[in-house]
Structure 1
């Protein structure tokens, strides 16, 4: 039997595969982002800028790979019969995620690039917040069976809507939720940037300065105005 097909080594190969995928995904994502930022918005010799691109790529890949390794190890440990077993899979994954984040993302051990761990965590937070809103909506619709008025003016319970109508209703609420989320988020971003900009994450602050703080800029020619 091939070692790859041996169930005895399966957990180890799952951990290594997750780490490999973290390296590949983090490397591709950060390299393209850092390359564009350095080439378009930074000046100076090319070699130091390219070095910073590779450093950021390495740091991002290291963060994702490290969390994958720690998370998978924690899952296998918690699933053992001596701990939680396999009956509490959701609790197991939640605890493993918390443990991995404590080591990698929290900054408690100061092992990883703080800027990158902050960016990843804030990115995930916005997605998780929206996902939790959708989960709560689904639970509410199923448990309380609210009524709605259709285009003909008839009152209908949620459970009496067909599949297409239920999906259309959910998408309508999702879109409205996103609308208000976006409005409040950007209102707060612009308020904080005007009130206490030093508290914003550095890359966000720099991009906002570049885009919005143009009141004192002067341009003598169209070439200067267009930046060419």
Structure 2
């Protein structure tokens, strides 16, 4: 909460009964450094845990802050964010409607309900029907906006609660004397078309749905209705089209993904290593300008080459495992091209790439492995805590972090003073400059003055520039 001014802190914490709001704000500001304190206060007011912050982070990037706050305020998980990611064609261009549908969701069921719901339903009725759904059942009751009409008691039995009466032109059928009637909105009647059986104005409802004339069974009517709606339901076509590229990705796509990954690996390796190597070599190594530039080029090339090779090997192994699962095992692969076909594929591909590329020792490789190891360990602990494993789930990060910092710094200082040769050379050089050279001074007062760069930084910070 230290980054919030007093007004935002009060707004976040007023009338709260726990520390959930403060923890939410802290998590939110750590994950999204560019967001203002006011947004954090609005999102986390009344929060019971960290989930509103997680939901905000998982929300679609093109949603503005107000929509994300409306979606995720008091969320209990990231389910609202997952819900709005679903393809619902009738409200695809209406983010506010999707937010109204998915706000407070505990699963993606509201979106599934909306996809199953009648396409003829307007936006307001769709949201009323599905926003609190725990399954697709509410939409299954309505079926393509069909309304069973008869006695009042029958309406209450068969019409979902809060659904309005049929309005506008409709096509009615199923008219046994016992008042079992079905009415279709006219646009939905026109929706059920096919090249083989084009509806005509004089067609009966039974003919329209491919039923025997005079069919009275409600179950048969519903099945036929749902089957015909499935043929032409726009949302279901969207879902199918969205799934097809992931299922039918060709080998050409896999090769292109590998080549693109190799390019991105070399690009990122150069981008990261070149400035780092230049600073470290020019500051801490001796030699001519030519020798220093050669060192920068050598380190940058090695980093770029290895990162490009690793990405290529990783994606190639994923492609092989994907083909094996699809063709040798005959199993469906739902993930996109270039992605793991099963959760363990990533570990296998990463292990093979790690052995082939990073398994050869060099200062660059060792530095990268050490960099990843510390972050991977932290991530593993977070996963174990999130899944409820003890003792990880029993402690908060903010409580454990001071202990981790204490142990790490105690250990590294003991190693430096007692076993310095076991430390990485670059770390050892840095520590020698900090702790050994500070014990010797030759030039009097000059040795105790800050450098010009440090002085400039302090002045700029003081002036708040």
Alignment TM-score, normalising by the size of structure 2: 0.38
Richer in helix (by share): 1
CA distance in 1 between counterparts of 2:299 and 2:436 reads 27
CA distance in 2 between counterparts of 1:101 and 1:84 reads 29
* Cα 1:218–1:136 shift into 2, 3 Å: same
* Cα 1:215–1:129 shift into 2, 3 Å: same
Do residues 196 (structure 1) and 419 (structure 2) align?
yes
CA contact (8 A) 1:77 1:83 kept: no
Do residues 103 (structure 1) and 356 (structure 2) align?
yes
* Cα 1:133–1:55 shift into 2, 3 Å: same
Runs (5+) with no aligned partner, structure 1: 1-5, 147-169
* Cα 1:83–1:53 shift into 2, 3 Å: farther
Do residues 184 (structure 1) and 432 (structure 2) align?
no
Do residues 134 (structure 1) and 377 (structure 2) align?
no
Within the candidate set 242, 249, 255, 1:12 is matched to 255
- Give the Å deviation of 1:177: 2.5
Equivalent position SS for 1:80: helix
Partner of 1:72: 315
CA deviation profile, 1:68-98 (whole Å, cap 9, x unmatched):
1111111111122337964861111101111
CA deviation profile, 1:95-118 (whole Å, cap 9, x unmatched):
1111111111122xx6xxx11111
Within the candidate set 334, 345, 363, 1:115 is matched to 363
CA distance in 2 between counterparts of 1:200 and 1:83 reads 48
Partner of 1:149: none
Do residues 35 (structure 1) and 288 (structure 2) align?
no
* Cα 1:211–1:83 shift into 2, 3 Å: farther
CA contact (8 A) 1:35 1:53 kept: yes
Query: How many residue pairs were aligned?
Result: 191
Partner of 2:373: 125
CA deviation profile, 1:161-180 (whole Å, cap 9, x unmatched):
xxxxxxxxx9x812223222
CA distance in 2 between counterparts of 1:58 and 1:188 reads 33
Partner of 1:24: 267
CA contact (8 A) 1:19 1:66 kept: yes
Within the candidate set 219, 223, 226, 2:446 is matched to 223
- Give the Å deviation of 1:199: 1.1
Return the index of the structure with the highest Cα Rg: 2
CA distance in 1 between counterparts of 2:402 and 2:259 reads 41
CA contact (8 A) 1:84 1:92 kept: no
Partner of 1:62: 305
* Cα 1:33–1:83 shift into 2, 3 Å: farther
CA distance in 1 between counterparts of 2:424 and 2:356 reads 21
CA distance in 1 between counterparts of 2:302 and 2:382 reads 33
Runs (5+) with no aligned partner, structure 2: 1-248, 335-340, 453-465
CA distance in 2 between counterparts of 1:190 and 1:83 reads 54
Partner of 1:46: 289
Alignment TM-score, normalising by the size of structure 1: 0.75
* Cα 1:61–1:84 shift into 2, 3 Å: farther
Within the candidate set 344, 363, 367, 1:91 is matched to 344
Equivalent position SS for 1:72: helix
Q: Which has the higher contact order (CA 8 A, sep 6+)?
A: 1
